[in-house]
């Protein structure tokens, strides 16, 4: 088989944050596969076919990409951020595992990208400077009870936490419940960063104490970062810099 699949991360939004490796793969592609707004970021050109689809058909999208690669096409599956963080890389490999044995012989590469939590952390300072975890707050693919358990255990382990998909129109109540769990488990006013649409013209960053965090401060374009008990704030020129020391302070 001469076909290939590249699973690529387009970064958080600004095209200058797409890696040269990913840009090269896109220039070599015959077909681009992905969620509608991500495919829209790819410049059309002769010889390139764009295959955009809805957000909830990841496995179907993956099968389509694998089928085209098996036909000899050069396929790039695009995700925002990094394709291995709550994105398409795992969906493609799930399809490979469940599909024909021949798919396992395809040339499949995963190219990293700058994920939203890292872009948000950089804008705020260094809140993920020590041990941290990332939790997807969507309960579309896992029960809410598991999300609450992971929140409580992350607080018990004193991790800084980055939250993806905090609040959507279809499940507006979930993030409110998450904040309730955090307030009860943390019992303090550690900083919470609301980083919306980082690296785009719509970027907006808010830093508030956990006690003042409100559900409506987040949407699906927002990454929320909650500091650990060690996280600090430095004020510089009237703006907060949030960081977590690399050593545990007394």
Per the domain annotation, does 250 fall within a domain?
no
CB 143 within 8 A of CB 95: no
Of residues 1 and 207, more confidently modeled: 207
Mean pLDDT, the chain, integer: 94
Q: What confidence tier does 223 reach under pLDDT thresholds 50, 70, 90?
A: very high
CB 145 within 8 A of CB 181: no
Residue 111 contacts by C-beta under 8 Å, 6 or more apart in sequence?
A: 6, 7, 8, 9, 19, 21, 22, 25, 83
Taking each helix axis from N to C terminus, what angle separates 144-156 and 173-186, rounded to the nearest 10 degrees?
A: 30
Instruction: Report the distance separating Cα 109 and Cα 174, nearest Å.
Output: 35
Residues 130 and 237 in one domain: yes
Tokens of 131: 């041990």
The separation between CA 76 and the C-alpha centre of its own chain, rounded to angstroms, equals 18
Residues 227 and 137 in one domain: yes
Residues 80 and 165 in one domain: no
Instruction: Report the distance separating Cα 231 and Cα 229, nearest Å.
Output: 6
Residues 91 and 209 in one domain: no
Print the domain residue range for 14. Answer: 4-114
Last residue of a domain, one of 93, 114, 135: 114
Q: What confidence tier does 250 reach under pLDDT thresholds 50, 70, 90?
A: low
Q: What is the pLDDT of residue 181?
A: 96
Last residue of a domain, one of 46, 81, 114: 114
Q: Kindly tell me the burial class for residue 31, based on how many C-beta atoms sit within 10 Å of its own C-beta (0-12, 13-18, 19 or more).
A: buried
Residues 107 and 168 in one domain: no
Last residue of a domain, one of 114, 142, 164: 114
CB 230 within 8 A of CB 115: no
Q: What percent of the chain has pLDDT above 70? A: 99
Mean pLDDT of 65-93: 96
pTM: 0.91
Mean pLDDT of 231-246: 93
Per the domain annotation, does 166 fall within a domain?
yes
Per the structure, how many domains does the chain have?
A: 2
Q: What is the pLDDT of residue 169?
A: 73
Of residues 249 and 74, more confidently modeled: 74
Q: What confidence tier does 198 reach under pLDDT thresholds 50, 70, 90?
A: very high
Q: What is the CATH number of the domain that holds 18?
A: 3.40.1010.10
Per the domain annotation, does 249 fall within a domain?
no
């Amino acid at each position: 088989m001469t076909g290939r699949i590249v699973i690529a991360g387009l970064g958080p939004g600004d095209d200058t944050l797409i890696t040269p490796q990913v840009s090269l793969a896109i220039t070599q592609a015959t077909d681009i596969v992905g969620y509608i707004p991500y495919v829209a970021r790819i410049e059309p050109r002769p010889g390139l076919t764009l295959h955009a689809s809805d957000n909830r058909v990841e496995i179907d999208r993956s099968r389509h990409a694998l089928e085209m690669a098996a036909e000899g096409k050069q396929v790039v599956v695009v995700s925002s951020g990094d394709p291995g963080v709550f994105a398409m890389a795992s969906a493609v490999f799930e399809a490979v595992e469940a599909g024909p044995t021949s798919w396992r012989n395809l040339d499949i590469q995963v190219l990293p990208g700058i994920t939203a939590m890292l872009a948000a952390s950089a804008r705020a300072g260094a809140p993920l400077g020590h041990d941290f975890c990332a939790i997807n707050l969507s309960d579309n693919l896992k029960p809410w009870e598991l999300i609450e358990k992971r929140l409580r255990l992350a607080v018990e382990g004193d991790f800084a936490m980055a939250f993806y998909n905090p609040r959507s129109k279809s499940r507006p109540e979930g993030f409110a419940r998450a904040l309730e769990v955090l307030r009860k488990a943390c019992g303090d006013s550690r900083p919470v960063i609301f980083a919306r649409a980082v690296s785009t013209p719509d970027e907006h960053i808010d830093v508030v104490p956990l006690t003042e965090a409100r559900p409506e401060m987040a949407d699906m374009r927002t990454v929320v970062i909650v500091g650990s008990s060690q996280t600090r704030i430095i004020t510089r020129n009237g703006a907060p810099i949030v960081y977590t020391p690399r050593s545990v302070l007394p």
